[in-house]
Structure 1
């Protein structure tokens, strides 16, 4: 199929409402977008297993998850960015020394080293259950993202590993951590190049730190009204908040629906 454009959506604070679900009106707009020959694509730090409801409700079947580390196009996986085991071991050791926790993400499971108060706060913050404890999960499975559960101990991880990993603080309780150089931008580039979609106009909607590379890369970036100032600085258009019809307003601004 020939598409008129590719439209990338962040989830939390963007396509999602405050309950981390997609409003019915937003789902209808996304389905209309596709009917108008624009391909909707989710671009999120969440894992594939966390977004099943969003996919079902919107009809989306292409996504960039785990901040560019696991990509699917029209139902088929096309990229997995695996973090080296020795790098994970070093990260886990740092967390253990600080009485903190690390969660392991692949396309089918989420596991965690241990449960702390910060762990509970982090998953409550995104309306998600705390993962099952399995401290050795990474030894037997490819890991595409780590979630470092820490409030203020960022430098203990980023200083020794900033040439091995890329870090995105996603809120007050945790840090998304992926292969070095990984981002939503690199995910978009890989998807476009692998599927022969170069030259098609690109649009994106986002609100947070990990959206900045994506917003800087696409042709027509839109920041949510609830977004951080750094995201808004990358935008050609700033729409309303995610809870105030911002997605629909933004799609109409670009004449996509």
Structure 2
């Protein structure tokens, strides 16, 4: 297809609404894009195992997960960008001292360094994925981790930002922060995909709503912020569509001329 485009969609607040439901208009729009010959991909902060059902429902096999650290193209692993383990060990020690639990995450599973904690239950529950991390304080040993969750109230991540230069800290919940490799972002993961497919900049689109979407919305020429996004996120996007609850994906795809 000469005019094939690729469209990257964030999940939470973009494909899924506040109740983690997939609007019918969104599902129909995704399949219409595929019928037209376009490539549809997911770009999310979630782990691959946290959106497997959604991938199956939408028949999507290309995705940028962990905010760009683990990328799969047409069902095959394309890119890995793991955390620096020596620095992660030190961060975990500091976090334990501060009573801030962490959850270690690779492409297959997640494990907590403490048996249980209110912050973990509170934040993970909002994802409605039907599972919580088991306890394994040594899960980081001998394997590549692509993201760690640090659980602390808003503002308290500042002390980690000042001490651990190998990581970026991106808040996604009032009591939880994504810890990813420095400079890693959805934009970097997307770059790996579009370079492999050879799709030009003018044929690249991205939809998102969160703070972790800002690099993606800045880097992609045809970027669309959801109506439910924060104003700072909307400010970096080329277009702003309606909210996810108000058929925002369908409206946005019509706005940019893809549907």
Q: TM-score range by the shorter chain?
A: over 0.9
Cα RMSD, aligned residues only? 1.4
Answer yes or no: is the 8 Å Cα contact 2:152–2:177 preserved in 1. yes
For residues 198 and 255 of structure 1, the distance between their equivalents in structure 2, rounded to whole angstroms, comes to: 17
Q: CA deviation at 1:215?
A: 0.3
For residues 199 and 66 of structure 1, the distance between their equivalents in structure 2, rounded to whole angstroms, comes to: 23
Give structure 1 stretches of 5+ with no counterpart: none
Residue of structure 2 equivalent to 1:236? 238
For residues 221 and 171 of structure 1, the distance between their equivalents in structure 2, rounded to whole angstroms, comes to: 24
**Does residue 56 of the first structure (1) align with residue 51 of the second (2)?**
no
Answer yes or no: is the 8 Å Cα contact 1:64–1:70 preserved in 2. yes
Answer yes or no: is the 8 Å Cα contact 1:68–1:187 preserved in 2. yes
Q: How does 1:43-82 map to 2 (within 5 A)?
A: 43-82=43-82
The one of 239, 244, 247 equivalent to 1:245 is 247
Residue of structure 2 equivalent to 1:112? 112
Residue of structure 1 equivalent to 2:42? 42
Give secondary structure in 2 for the equivalent of 1:142.
Answer: coil
TM-score (normalizing by structure 1): 0.95
Residue of structure 1 equivalent to 2:90? 90
Give secondary structure in 1 for the equivalent of 2:216.
Answer: helix
Answer yes or no: is the 8 Å Cα contact 1:68–1:183 preserved in 2. yes
Answer yes or no: is the 8 Å Cα contact 1:7–1:204 preserved in 2. yes
Q: How does 1:209-220 map to 2 (within 5 A)?
A: 209-220=211-222
Answer yes or no: is the 8 Å Cα contact 1:204–1:215 preserved in 2. yes
Answer yes or no: is the 8 Å Cα contact 1:27–1:58 preserved in 2. yes
Give secondary structure in 2 for the equivalent of 1:26.
Answer: helix
The one of 155, 168, 189 equivalent to 2:158 is 155
Q: Decide which moves more: 35-44 or 16-25.
A: 16-25
Give secondary structure in 1 for the equivalent of 2:258.
Answer: coil
Aligned length: 256
Answer yes or no: is the 8 Å Cα contact 2:46–2:66 preserved in 1. yes
For residues 78 and 18 of structure 2, the distance between their equivalents in structure 1, rounded to whole angstroms, comes to: 31
Give secondary structure in 2 for the equivalent of 1:146.
Answer: strand
For residues 199 and 97 of structure 1, the distance between their equivalents in structure 2, rounded to whole angstroms, comes to: 46
TM-score (normalizing by structure 2): 0.94
Answer yes or no: is the 8 Å Cα contact 2:23–2:247 preserved in 1. no
For residues 200 and 229 of structure 1, the distance between their equivalents in structure 2, rounded to whole angstroms, comes to: 25
The one of 142, 145, 158 equivalent to 1:143 is 145
Q: CA deviation at 1:25?
A: 2.8
Answer yes or no: is the 8 Å Cα contact 1:100–1:149 preserved in 2. yes
Q: CA deviation at 1:200?
A: 5.4
For residues 239 and 16 of structure 2, the distance between their equivalents in structure 1, rounded to whole angstroms, comes to: 19
For residues 219 and 211 of structure 1, the distance between their equivalents in structure 2, rounded to whole angstroms, comes to: 14
Q: Closer, same or farther in 2 for the Cα pair 1:90/1:197, shift >3 Å?
A: same
Give structure 2 stretches of 5+ with no counterpart: none
Q: How does 1:141-220 map to 2 (within 5 A)?
A: 141-152=143-154, 153-161=156-164, 163-199=165-201, 201-220=203-222
